[in-house]
Amino acid sequence: MAPLAVKIKHAGKAYDVQLDPDQPPTVFKDAVYQVTGVPPDRMKVMIKGGMLKDDTDWKKVNLKEGQTFMVIGAAGELPKPPEMPIVFLEDMDDVTLAEALSLPIGLKNLGNTCYMNATLQAMRAIPELQTALQNNAPSGLPSALKNLYSQMSRTTDSVVPSTFLAVLRQTFPQFAEQARNSKGLGGMFAMYAQQDAEECWVQLTNALKEVPGLPGPSSEGTISKTFVDQYMTGEMRRELRCDEAPEEPPTVTFEKVLKIECNISITTNYMLQGIKEGLNQKIEKNSPSLGRNAMYTATSRLSRLPTYLTVHMVRFAWRQDIGKKAKIMRKVKFPTDFDALELVTDELREKMLPLTDRFKKIEGDRSERRTIRKRTAARRQALATAQTAATASASEPAEVPGQVAEEVPMDLDEEPVYREREREELEALIHPDLKADVGCSVSGQYELIAIVTHKGAAADSGHYMGFAKKSAIRPIANSTAPGSSATPTVAEDDEDWYKFDDDKVSIFPKDKLATLDGGGEDSSAYVLLYKTKPLA
């Protein structure tokens, strides 16, 4: 049969190509590659009933002169062969296996140390911290944390954090407190008391203030800020106005904050509600203009938002009748996506709004494209299944109703192109002041990436656990290697979490996060870590 002159369509352009029915489809794909630059192994040629395969029989395609084929796939260089020989999983040692699979590792409980284990697992979801520790970890607790995280990345077994625990207790003696009546066997045995995970989080963060910061895109010379100042510290503007003397000038102060608090009252149902109630308060103090005590309105707003925003759910309050802290059981819902613009100053909101408004629109577009990609993938799977079934029965290729090539809505490989364009557009909208502030949030839009929960009724008892979004956990050993990613490769629709119950690690479905809202003695969200959403 003589060669046919056919047309192909790719990325909105049409090309003329010769198709020889006497040659296998691989020859045709190579001809398509010559004009589009789409490598055959990434190329999909749509034909009636499905996709062109390397072993497709041209006689069953019903070829015609001038026929048009749709080609999808991103142009680019062919994949290069691996520099290192392929090693099978069963031939890997523990270190190589841990790095290859990026498995999260549990921490052994050394006697009421779940508060520490949960804190460490949640804080491990901050990749910039791991990079900063590797670059320059001062001696003491930062160095011990660096070594612990490195150890966790190089094994498939649970880690015994005894060295880190010893340094923690030496640095902060309160964590070495012994439980009452814990000595036995003639004084030879002592049990350490349960501690507060939120206090552990705060003290560990304070210790990490010694870690130098990371350079920005245009940083030169010495880095003036520490890592914690850059990525974990917000700035709170507090204004005090006298209700009874409006003419009295307000008092304005600024304070660095490592967390924001969600106060829980009998009417608190949502995290944002509890936070806002704590930012607007009434206090009584001496008025210099009135010469007596008067009521003041204290208004606090964030004048800087960090990349990582810590929210403390204030679930423990002192009860005079029992002489200790008791847990506030009330159910308080927390969001997985958090808009913090309601908590910032008017000046900061004005700087963020142009970017934030456009970012929200782009997020909607991305969600729509994600839905289309899922639907397209499902259609192609149905086509492939139908074609396989038809081939197995030796009949003509089956056509799934409504699944013709013209209905394929987009190229599955073009999402990175969309993302890059959107990133460039959004970066152009970043306010210069925010662009120069390394480690700040430029949009005020956050996603939840880690949680520390408490189970029980009192602060000095119960059990703590850590939770981390799967996409936030990555291996540490390779974090500074060229080409390494800030997060492991996770399917875009995989939004499940890891649950860290000391040395027991399991998958925690996203739809179960609502069970951590509280409402009883079961696990309740206590410390939440939010990360500002990336622009790309």
User: CA 511, 512, 513, 514 torsion: positive or negative?
Assistant: positive
pLDDT-based confidence at residue 476 (cuts at 50, 70, 90): very low
Q: Judge whether 533 and 451 are in contact, CB under 8 Å.
A: no
Q: d(Cα 66, Cα 298) in Å, to the nearest integer?
A: 76
Question: Is 68 domain-assigned?
Answer: yes
Higher pLDDT, 388 or 326: 326
Q: d(Cα 347, Cα 304) in Å, to the nearest integer?
A: 10
Same-domain pairing of 62 and 101 = no
Q: Active-site residue 262, yes or no?
A: no
Question: Is 423 domain-assigned?
Answer: no
Q: Which residues contact 112 (CB under 8 A, 6 or more apart)?
A: 179, 191, 192, 193, 194, 195
- Sort strands 324-327 and 280-287 into parallel, antiparallel or unpaired: unpaired
Higher pLDDT, 377 or 401: 377
Same-domain pairing of 44 and 169 = no
pLDDT digits (tens, 9 = 90+) for 336-373: 999 999 999 999 999 999 999 999 999 998 888 888 87
Question: Is 139 domain-assigned?
Answer: yes
pLDDT-based confidence at residue 100 (cuts at 50, 70, 90): low
**Other beta carbons less than 10 A from residue 470's beta carbon:** 20
pLDDT-based confidence at residue 294 (cuts at 50, 70, 90): very high
Average pLDDT over residues 234-242: 96
CB-count burial class (<10 Å; 0-12, 13-18, 19+) for 306: buried
What is the crossing angle of helices 197-207 and 114-123, to 10°?
50
Same-domain pairing of 229 and 302 = yes
Burial 203-216 (b: 16+ CB within 10 A, else e): bbbebbebbbbbee
Question: Is 317 domain-assigned?
Answer: yes
Q: How many structural domains compose the chain? A: 2
What is residue 447's predicted lDDT score, i.e. its pLDDT?
Answer: 96
What is residue 491's predicted lDDT score, i.e. its pLDDT?
Answer: 61
Distance of CA 440 to the CA centre of its chain: 16
Same-domain pairing of 21 and 131 = no
pLDDT digits (tens, 9 = 90+) for 108-132: 999 999 999 999 999 999 999 999 9
Q: Would you list the DSSP string of 42-97?
A: G-EEEETTEE--TT--GGGT---TT-EEEEE----PPPPPPSS----GGG--HHHH
For residue 195, give the CATH number of its domain. Answer: 3.90.70.10
Q: Which position among 114, 200, 242, 440 bears the catalytic label?
A: 114
Q: Judge whether 492 and 88 are in contact, CB under 8 Å.
A: no
Same-domain pairing of 155 and 256 = yes
Same-domain pairing of 162 and 298 = yes
What is residue 402's predicted lDDT score, i.e. its pLDDT?
Answer: 46
Q: Which position among 10, 431, 440, 463 bears the catalytic label?
A: 463
What is residue 241's predicted lDDT score, i.e. its pLDDT?
Answer: 95
Same-domain pairing of 257 and 293 = yes
Q: Judge whether 447 and 533 are in contact, CB under 8 Å.
A: yes
pLDDT-based confidence at residue 296 (cuts at 50, 70, 90): very high
What is residue 484's predicted lDDT score, i.e. its pLDDT?
Answer: 35
Residues forming a β-bridge with 344: 302
Q: Would you list the DSSP string of 433-473?
A: HHHTSTTB-SS-EEEEEEEEEEESSSTTSSEEEEEEEGGG-
Residues forming a β-bridge with 311: 260, 528
Question: Is 113 domain-assigned?
Answer: yes
Q: Which residues contact 356 (CB under 8 A, 6 or more apart)?
A: 341, 443, 444, 445
Q: What would the two tokens of residue 498 be?
A: 């890891």
What is residue 382's predicted lDDT score, i.e. its pLDDT?
Answer: 77
Average pLDDT over residues 137-163: 92
Domain that holds residue 63: 4-72
Q: d(Cα 16, Cα 68) in Å, to the nearest integer?
A: 9
Residue 399: pLDDT above 90? no
Higher pLDDT, 413 or 463: 463
What is residue 189's predicted lDDT score, i.e. its pLDDT?
Answer: 45
pLDDT-based confidence at residue 536 (cuts at 50, 70, 90): confident
What is residue 319's predicted lDDT score, i.e. its pLDDT?
Answer: 75
Q: What would the two tokens of residue 99 be?
A: 């790095």
What pTM, to 2 d.p., does this model score? Answer: 0.74
Same-domain pairing of 11 and 128 = no
For residue 26, give the CATH number of its domain. Answer: 3.10.20.90
Residue 204: pLDDT above 70? yes
What is residue 411's predicted lDDT score, i.e. its pLDDT?
Answer: 56
> What average pLDDT does the structure give for the chain?
84
Q: Active-site residue 463, yes or no?
A: yes
Residue 459: pLDDT above 80? no
The most distant pair of C-alpha atoms in the chain lies apart, rounded to whole Å, by 106
- Note the residue count of the chain: 536
pLDDT digits (tens, 9 = 90+) for 24-68: 888 898 888 888 888 888 888 988 778 888 888 888 888 889 999
Question: Is 238 domain-assigned?
Answer: yes
Same-domain pairing of 12 and 106 = no
Return the minimum-mean-pLDDT range out of 31-35, 243-247, 284-288.
Answer: 31-35
Question: Is 379 domain-assigned?
Answer: no
Residue 477: pLDDT above 60? no
Same-domain pairing of 11 and 139 = no
Same-domain pairing of 14 and 135 = no
What is residue 184's predicted lDDT score, i.e. its pLDDT?
Answer: 44
Kindly report the backbone phi and psi dihedral angles of residue 419, in degrees, each rounded to the nearest multiple of 5, phi listed first.
-60, -45
DSSP 306: B
Return the minimum-mean-pLDDT range out of 4-8, 38-42, 85-89, 164-168.
Answer: 85-89
Same-domain pairing of 242 and 124 = yes
Residue 480: pLDDT above 60? no
